[in-house]
Structure 1
Amino acid sequence: MTEGVVRSLGSGRFLDWGAMGAQGTAGGILVCWDKRSLSLLEMEVGQFSISCRLRNVEDGLVWIFTGVYGPFARKDRETLWEELGAIRGIWDDPWCLGGDFNITLSQWERSRQGHLNGAMRRFAQVANDLDLLDLPLQEGLFSWSGGRNNQSWARLDRFLGVVQCRLPRPTSDHFPILLKGGGLSRGPSPFRFENMWLKTEGFKELLRDWWQGAGGRGRASFRLASKLKAMKEKIKAWNREVFGRLEVNKSSALQQVEFWDRVEDERGLTVGETELKNEAKENFKKWVLLEETHWRQVSRELWLKEGDKNTGFFHRMANAHWRNNSVDRIKINGVEVAEEQEVREGIVNAFQHQLSEEPGWRADIEGLHLQCLNHNEAEALELPFTEEEIHLALMEMNGNKAPGPDGFTMAFWQFYWDFVKEEVLELFKEFYDQNSFAKSFNTTFLVLIPKKGGAEDLGDFRPISLLGGLYKLLAKVLANRLKLVIGKVVSADQNAFVKGRQILDASLIANEVVDYWQKRKEQGLVCKLDIEKAFDSINWNFLMKVMTKMGFGSHWLAWIWWCISSATFSILVNGTPAGFFPNSRGLRQGDPISPYLFILGMEVLSALINRAVEGGFISGCRLHGSGGIEMNVSHLLFADDTIIFCEARKEYMTYLSWILAWSEAASGLKINLAKSELIPMGEVADLEDMAVELGCRVGVLPSKHLGLPLGAHHKALSMWDGVEERMRRRLALWKRQYLSKGGRITLIKSTLASIPIYQLSLFRMPKSVVKRLEKFQRDFLWGGGSLERKIHLIN
C-alpha cells in the first residue's frame, strides 16, 4: 500500500492511515481515520491483523481498533487468535475489532446451517476470553455470498463490541459493515432560511400574515430589523412545531406507501384505498423533493438543478465541504494551536489585527493625474433609488447562495417581494436621505476557504464574507451604477470588472510581449508582482481621496464610506460564530461593490507607472505592428495581479522599487516580494543583482499568468498538463459521488467541458490531448463511477 494509492481515495488533507500488506492476491488491510477526530498513539502490524491505539481528539479517550483479515486455512487461525491475545496483553484500553474473520460464530450464521464445528467454538471462546461482545447485525443476516450461483450465504464480517449495521453491496461478495460512532462536534449553528420552505403549501400566506403583523419603532432600517427578528422567531417555531424534522416526515411518508404496498400484496385495494395509496405516494414525493432542495442549498453545488434524484450527491458534497473547511488545528504566525478554544481565539485575534489600520504617515496623491468623471456621470450615480433598479438588482442575484448573519437567503426576498418591497424601498430612501442605515444590517460572517489541499497555515485560507441579504442588495444596486461609469476613470492597462474588457486581453498582450522579445532575441525583464492580502489591507481614506480626484460626488462618497466603515465581523469556525469586532481598513471579498472599489485604488499604481514611463524611469516594451503602428506596453493589471515589462537595466529596478514603496505608503497595499519574481528575457547580465535591488526572486519561462501559460511554445504538450490534471482531479472527486446520468451530463457540460475552454481561447490543443480529455469525459459519463464499468454507447 502506498501513499499515492491512499490519497487517490479522495479523503482530503485530514486523512491518516495504516496498512497490512497483502499476501499475493489474499489479505491486505487498510485502516484510515480522520485526524481531526482521532490521533494515532501506537500501531502493531501482524500477519492477519493491524492494531491502532488511538486517542479521541474531543474527549481524550484512548482506545484500540484492530482490523482483521482472517486466514482461510484452519492451521493459520491460531496465529490470528494469538495476535489478538497479544494485543490485549500489551494494551489495556477499550477495544474494537472489525473485518473479515473468514469464520462464523455459529451454524446459524450460514444459510446451509450444518453443525457447530470446532472452528466456530474456538472463535466463540476467543471472543469470550477477550471480553468482546458480539451484537446482532442490523439490516440483514449475512455479510458474504458465494458458492455455485451465489447460493451460499454467511456472516463472515463483523465488528465485536459495538453497534453495527450492514450497508448495500454494489459489487463485492462481502457487504460493507458500518461501525456507528460519534463524529466531529459542531457548535450551535446560526439561523438559516431554508429554501425548501418556499415549496411548502400555505407557507407564503403564513409569512405574509407574520410580516404584516410585525411592527417596530424608529427609522425605517430599525423597523425592518425588528420585523426580521420577529419573523425569525415565528419561522423557527413553525419549523419546530408544524413543519417538523425533514427526515422523520420523509420516513413517515415512506411507511405509509409501504403499508399500502403490503395490503395490496395480500388483497386487492378498494377505490378509496387506491386513492389513499396515491395520496401517500404524492406525499412521499413531496418530502423527497424538499429533502433534495435542502441538501442542494447546503451543498452549494448550484450547477446541478434539483428534481433529478441527486439528493445523495448533494448530501455527500455538503459533508465533504464541511470536512474540507473545518479547522481542528492551525498555524498562526508560525505557532500551531490545536485546542478548540485556542483555535477560535487565535483566528479571531489574527483577523482583528489584519483588518485594523495601523497609525502612521500616508503618502499624498494630490499631485497625481487621474482620469475624471464629468458632471452628468457623477450626478447619475447620486439619483434617487427606484423600485425598478432595486428589483432588477435583486433578480440578478443567486437565491441559493449562503446567507449572512441575518440568515435570510436572497431567495426569500425574491420570492416574497410583493409584500416585503414597501419596507425595502423605505430602507433605500433612508439610506439616500441620511447616508446611513442600522449597523445591524452590515454584520458579516467571515468563512475560511482553503486555497489548496493540505492547508495548515492561516495564510493558506481565503476569507470570504457572507453578508446580510439587505446590505448585499443595497451594495449590488451601487455596484450596478458604478460599473456603468468605471470605464471612464480606469485606464486601459486594467482589464478586470470593466465592461468590454476581459481577462483574456491581459493574457494575450502579456504573451505577445514575451513572444516579441523572444523572436527578436532582445533582452528584457518581466516582473510579476504579488500583493499581500490585497483586499484586506487597502486604506479607506486613500480610497476616498482617489474617488474625490476622479470626480465622484459628496453624496456618493458618503454612501461608500458608510458601507465600508459600518461593517462588523464574526468568524465562522467550524460553522459556529466566533468573536465580534469592527474593521478599520480593507474591503470584503463577497461584497458586490468591493471589486470595483479595489480597481479604483489600483489605478494609482497604474498612474505612477505611466508617469515613470513618461519620465524615462521605466522603459516598457515597444511593440511594432503592421502599418507602422507602435505601442508601448509597460504594465498590465487584473485586480491584484500585476505584471510589469521593462528593459534589463538595474536603474529601472531601483526606480520600480521606489514606485512600489510610494504606492504602498499611499494605499496600504504591500507587495509580497517573497512571492514576486523577476523573469529574464534572453541572456540578462547581473540578473541576481537586479532581483536583489527589487527584493524579489528570479523566475523562469514558461510561467503562469492569470492561470494561462506565459512564454510557453504553442506546440508544447506540457502546457496542457495543468488542464489534464484539473480534469483528472475533478473526475476523481466526482467519481465517488452518486450522480444520476442526467447529473453526469450536466456536470460535463457545465463544469468539465469548460475546464479547457479558457486555455483554448489563446492556444490550440494538440490532438493527443483532445483524445485524452474526451476519454475522461466518456469514462465519466458511461463508466458510472469507479465501482462499475459500462459499455460506451456513443464514441
Structure 2
Amino acid sequence: MEVLSTLLRRAVDGGFLSGCRLQGRGGGELTVSHLLFADDTIIFYEARKEQLTTLSWILAWFEASSGFRINLAKSVLILVGEVDEIEEMAVELGCRVGALPTVYLGLPLGAHHKVISMWDGVEERMRRRLAQWKRQYISKGGQITLIKSTLASIPIYLLSLFRMSKIIAKRLEKFQRDFLWGGGSLEGKVHLINWEVVCSQKEKGGLGIRKIDFLNKALLGKWIWRFASEKDNLWKRVIGVKYGQEGCGWRTKEARGTFGVGVWKDIMKEANWCWESIKFKVGKGTRVMFWTDQWCGNAVLSQNFPQLFTLAVHRNATVNEVWDSSLGQGGWNIRFSRDFNDWELDQIRDLLNMLRDFRTSSEEDLVIWKGGGHDIFGVKDAYNMLVGSIACAFPNRCIWVDKVPTKVSFFAWEATWGKILTLDRLQKRGWQLPNRCFLSGCEEENVNHIPYII
C-alpha cells in the first residue's frame, strides 16, 4: 500500500488531486489525501471529471505495479454536498454511488453524533446476546460472564469515540439487570439489589460489572491523554490544526461552534478530570510552566506558594527559563518583584528545598498518569478512579473462593446482602403463605435459616 500512498501524495503535490484541506483558527492548513486501514482505503478529492480521471489512472498504475486488483464493484463514491453529473463520474470510475450518512469501518460517517438511532445496532446486538431465554439454561456465573463479555465487546467501539446518551445507557443497563434477575418476574422483584452496588468491585461487595456511563467517560478520556503523550500522529496534527493548541501544545483549545465540532467537543468535556490526574516529568523544561503546571510535588507551585506566586515577575515562565545553567552545575534563578520580609524567608526556603532534587536535562518533557498503570493511562485505572470506592466491609474472600462453583459463590453473595428468595420476603410483599422450614418444620424460613440444598 506504500506504492498507492506515494502515487496519491505526488498527485496532490502536483495539483492533480485536491485532497481534503483543513483550515484552523490560527491560519494553519493541512491537506489529507487518503487514509489507509488494512486493505481498506478512503480517498479525498474534488468532484471534478479531471480529478476523477487522474484517480482512475492512479488506480490502474497501482494495479500494474503491485499485481493487486482493486474491486471497484465494492467501492462507493460518497458525496459531500450537491454534485452535478455524479452518475457519469461513477460510471467512468466503475463504482456505485453512495450518500451520507453511512457506515465506514463500523463507525457512523456523516451522521449527527447525538442521534439516538446511531446506537440501534448496539442495542439490538446486546438484546440478542442477553435474551431472556438464555438465562434459563446457564448458571448465575455464566450469566455474569456473558454480561461482562457482551459489555466489553459489543458497544466498546462506539463508546471509545462517541458520548452515549443517558437514555441509551439506561436501556443497556436494563438489559443486564433483566438478564441477571429475570426482569419484572417475582425473582427479579425480590432479588433486586442497588445497581450501583452490583457494578462495584468484588472487594467492595459487587459483581465487577462495569457501569456504561463511567466506562464511556474513561474511554473518551484516553483521547485527552493520547493528544498529550503521542508525538506527531496524523490524527493529532488534524485536531491540532483544526482547533488550535494551548498549554505548550499539550492540549487543544476549546471546541467552538455548532457544526463539525461535536465529537471533539464531547471528548474535551473529560479534560478536567483527566488533567487532574496528569503531571509532568521535566526534561528540557521548554514545555512545562514553572508556576502553573504540576511537575514538582503533589500540586502546582502557585497553589503551594500563593504569596510567592503573586510576587513572581514572570508568572508564565517555563521551567527552562527559570533554570540557570551558568550557576556552577546549574541552579534556580527565580525573580521576584521586591525583596522579602523576614517572615517570608521560610517560604523561600521551603520552595528551594522542594526544587533541590530537580534539574533540567537533554530529554523531552513528558506527561505522567497519576492514576496507576506505571505512569501510563489505562482505561481500567481511569474507570476505577471515576467510580470511586464504596465504604463497605464485605467478606469477599470468604465468598469468591477458587475451586468453588460460581453458582455457590453467587448464592453466598446474595445471602450476604440478604436478597435470597425466602418465604419471609414473600410475605412482606403480600403473599399469603405459611412460613415454616420444610426441613425442620419449626423454624421460620429467612436469610439466616435457609433450607435450600445447593
- Normalised to the residue count of structure 2, the TM-score between the two structures is 0.40
Q: Larger Rg: 1 or 2? A: 1
Q: Which has the higher contact order (CA 8 A, sep 6+)?
A: 2
More strand, by proportion: 1
- Normalised to the residue count of structure 1, the TM-score between the two structures is 0.23
